[in-house]
Amino acid sequence: MLRSWDLHFNLEPGSDVPIYVQLARAISRDIQRGRLLPGSPLPGTRALSKLLKVHRNTVTAAYDELTAYGWITSEPSRGAFVSKDLPSSQKHSWKIRFHSSKPSPQPGKFSQVLQARKKTFTFSDGTADARLAPVAELTVAFRRAAQKQSSIYADPRGAQVLREAVAEMLRSRRAVLVDSEQIIITRGSQMALYLAGQAVLSSKSVIAVEQLGYRNAWDAFRLTGATVIGVPVDEQGLNIQALKRLSARHKINAVYVTPHHQYPTAVSMTPSRRMELLEWANKTGAIIIEDDYDNEFHYEGAPLLPLASADGSDSVIYICTFSKMFAPGLRVGYVVAPKELISPMKEVRRLIDRQGDTVLESAIAELIVHGHLQRHLHKTRKHYLRRRDSFARHLQNLFSGELCFEVPPGGMALWVRPSRKIDTEQWAEAARKLDVHFDPSSHYSFDGDRYGGVRLGFASLAEEELKEASQRLFHSFMETHSRQVK
């Protein structure tokens, strides 16, 4: 068995490179050289920190980096081990955290960077980094669930074991008092939005939505034949007074909101507006469709409780997804609703998709019950917090006032607004030529406004990737501005 005193590290406390990065590099080099073989155990964080005379958190951070890149795996109650499925031996760019004091680069100085680029970067609307997913734990759970596969069709509402696990998670962590009979497991949040729309809307209905907002939700609601009308959003979330003025002119049957981290602006709806919205819904009989797509990613203070947690919240349909927790390709979400609405949703689900992926659903349930999900979320929150702060610093240093944005207390994306009039369609086109992708402002607007803000997801990119992507973003921005002023 590998002993901690077999490891030799030359750490440089005075270096610009953080100690945890130096440690991660040293261990990965030993793995690449074959000193540490696949499956070999590593010292515990406490033992190694004493040996190296560094803080235990430093060793933990190094192990987190090695895990993220696939060099090591962590097994509960057993410790850390060299991965049996090692990543490519090519040189890795380890993440380094420091504030650069260098002046902002100018567009003409990017030729070497642009010529050397080999990678495409996507500033998604805020998706998880699949590289951080707990693949080992999920694989084991999936294999175990597959061995228990039934030969009969399952409940269209989803695997009972996952519905029970979700109900317990909602009761204990989000104060949403539901039972498994009020839950339908879906293939991601988009199916949940479709089911909610089909249950409460018709061709005679009117649904109010946030504007700026989530176009895919609007399209799902329009499939029912309902009229979709926009309600303004400001720094406190949905403008309730504007909603009330609209409801004085229209019979509004439902309202769709993203109160925790508004999509796309990432602002949180204030407590007073939450109460106003619930009171308005109770008074008018309207249904609130609450999309809590990234509840688990809040970095400062406690996350706000969902609207669905309020007493007497029978007017709320609550939607969430596991895709934001794991990876976009893992299409599992859920919808929580009053029991009288679950029945029509179940029937629609049965017709469009006889049942969900019961094996995957059972595997996710095991991750929840055994605590793997919470450990994974604890780890990814730390990564995403560092990425948020790193990305914000890069934008501040590079754009130097050309972009306006607030650093949100949670979420997986920044909402940035050019301080001068920039056609974001042209900016997005210029960025694509540099292998950087993002959606222009028209993607979030009812009226196709090309000169508004853009949503830049940081969670799926590592810190060094965010640095390079930010440089290309700046270059494309200045090129767009130069073309527009000519």
Please state, in angstroms and rounded to a whole number, the distance separating the CA atoms of residues 267 and 376. 25
CATH number attached to the domain at 4-82: 1.10.10.10
pLDDT tens track for 159-194: 999 999 999 999 988 899 999 999 999 998 999 999
Residue 19 has pLDDT above 90, yes or no: no
pLDDT band at 289 (very low <50, low <70, confident <90, very high): very high
Smallest CA-to-CA distance from 100 within 410, 393, 422 is with: 393
Predicted confidence band of residue 485 (pLDDT cuts 50, 70, 90) = low
Domain boundaries, the chain: 4-82, 107-127+375-485, 135-370
Tens digits of residue pLDDT in 204-255:
999 999 999 999 999 999 999 999 999 999 999 999 999 999 999 999 999 9
Per-residue model confidence as pLDDT tens digits over 34-69: 788 888 888 888 888 888 888 887 888 788 778 877
Q: How far apart are CA 468 and CA 8, in angstroms?
A: 33
Q: Token digits for 393?
A: 């610093």
Q: Helix/strand/coil (H, E, C) string of the chain?
A: CCCHHHCCCCCCCCCCCCHHHHHHHHHHHHHHHCCCCCCCECCCHHHHHHHHCCCHHHHHHHHHHHHHHCCEEEECCCEEEECCCCCCCCCCCCCCCCCCCCCCCCHHHCHHHHHHCCCCEECCCCCCCHHHCCHHHHHHHHHHHHHCCCCCCCCCCCCHHHHHHHHHHHHHHCCCCCCHHHEEEECHHHHHHHHHHHHHCCCCCEEEEEECCCHHHHHHHHCCCCEEEEEEEECCEECHHHHHHHHHHCCCCEEEECCCCCCCCCCCCCHHHHHHHHHHHHHHCCEEEEECCCCCCECCCCCCCCHHHCCCCCCEEEEEECCCCCCCCCCCEEEECCHHHHHHHHHHHHHHCCCCCHHHHHHHHHHHHCCHHHHHHHHHHHHHHHHHHHHHHHHHHHHCCCEECCCCCECCEEEEEECCCCCHHHHHHHHHHCCEECCCHHHHCCCCCCCCCEEEECCCCCHHHHHHHHHHHHHHHHHHHHHHHC
Rounded Cα distance, 367 and 386, in Å:
25
Pick the CATH number of 107-127+375-485 from 3.30.420.40, 2.60.40.420, 1.20.1560.10, 3.90.1150.10: 3.90.1150.10
Examine the pLDDT at 4 and tell me if it is beyond 70. no
Fold annotation for 135-370: Aspartate Aminotransferase; domain 2 (3.40.640)
What is the mean pLDDT of the segment spanning 139-154? 81
CA distance 321 to 331: 8
Average pLDDT, the chain: 86
Please give the pLDDT value at position 228.
Answer: 97
Note the pTM of the prediction, 2 decimals.
0.74
pLDDT of 458 reads 95
- pLDDT above 70 covers a percentage of the chain that reads 89
CA 436 to each of CA 107, 330, 431, 461, 473: distance values in angstroms, whole numbers, following the listed order: 16, 24, 5, 12, 7
pLDDT at 94: 44
Q: Is the pLDDT of residue 117 over 80?
A: no
Least confident of 44-58, 327-341, 400-414: 44-58
pLDDT for the residue 83: 87
Grade residue 407 by pLDDT with cuts at 50, 70 and 90.
very high
Q: Do residues 354 and 155 touch, judged by C-beta distance below 8 A?
A: no
Residue 249, C-beta contacts closer than 8 angstroms, at least 6 positions apart: none
